A and B are shown apart, each in its own frame.
Chain A
Amino acid sequence: KAGVTQTPRYLIKTRGQQVTLSCSPISGHRSVSWYQQTPGQGLQFLFEYFSETQRNKGNFPGRFSGRQFSNSRSEMNVSTLELGDSALYLCASSYSLGTGELFFGEGSRLTVL
């Protein structure tokens, strides 16, 4: 069974640009969560999607958005990039909401110059 796939794995952008990251969950998993990981802040919750609906959102500005498609694949978008957005963005899938046991992808490493 294939794991969680995130693309791209690495990307470099400049300030002011926007970026879209993609996540394909494990087959049969309907919940997708996104996290930002930085050395100083650790893993910070961005948002969670279930059945194409955002169920919860973390304390991030509106520049961070996401969506989930009918096949459970998810994308997140960051607009007007800032230097502080440089981070590892991790996607995790689970079978349903509140079931624990998150399965993480390898992440997308974003560098903003």
Chain B
Amino acid sequence: SQKIEQNSEALNIQEGKTATLTCNYTNYSPAYLQWYRQDPGRGPVFLLLIRENEKEKRKERLKVTFDTTLKQSLFHITASQPADSATYLCALDGGFKTIFGAGTRLFVKA
């Protein structure tokens, strides 16, 4: 069956460290993969999109990798700040619909 899994429900890190979130999928062949941020009671906000022919993409302190052989994406936040505390959602192209993972809650402690 098709699955998209974000390996950690919650991740606690110290301010200034790099947070690494994982997204794995099975039985999908997505043309692209996306990462969103969601704050409590708010709608998700788009962060980055990476295509199947791209290995890595960066935006300011954010970096995403996409390994279609491993069927995995890694999302990194460098020099993390308490303001980065939120839920991060992985999403992939499921053929005319975007499928979301359950999310990883990130807590950055000052």
Contact = CB atoms under 8 A, between A and B. Distances in A.
Interface stretch (A11-19, A76-84, A102-110): A102-110
A45 B2 CA distance: 14
Contact of B43 (A56, A58, A98, A104): A104
B89 A98 contact: no
Contact of B46 (A43, A101, A105, A106): A101
B42 interface: yes
Contact of B98 (A55, A102, A109): A102
Interface residues of B, number: 24
A104 B98 CA distance: 13
Interface string B42-54: 1111100100000
Interface in A17-72: 33, 35, 42-43, 45, 48, 55-56, 58
For chain A, which range describes its interface: under 10, 10 to 19, 20 to 34, or 35 or more residues? 20 to 34
A97 interface: yes
A4 B44 CA distance: 12
B98 A100 contact: yes
Contact of B100 (A42, A100, A101): A42
B49 A97 contact: no
The 6 A-B pairs at the shortest CB distance, nearest first, are namely: A104-B43, A43-B100, A42-B102, A56-B96, A56-B97, A100-B49
30 contacts: A4-B43, A35-B100, A42-B100, A43-B100, A45-B97, A45-B99, A48-B97, A55-B96, A56-B96, A56-B97, A58-B97, A90-B43, A90-B44, A92-B98, A97-B96, A98-B31, A100-B32, A100-B34, A100-B93, A100-B98, A101-B46, A102-B36, A102-B44, A102-B91, A103-B46, A104-B43, A104-B45, A107-B41, A107-B42, A107-B43
Interface of A: 4, 33, 35, 42-43, 45, 48, 55-56, 58, 90, 92, 97-98, 100-107, 109
Given A45-B97, A58-B97, 5 more contacts: A45-B100, A90-B43, A92-B98, A102-B34, A106-B42
Interface of B: 31-32, 34, 36, 41-46, 49, 89, 91, 93-103
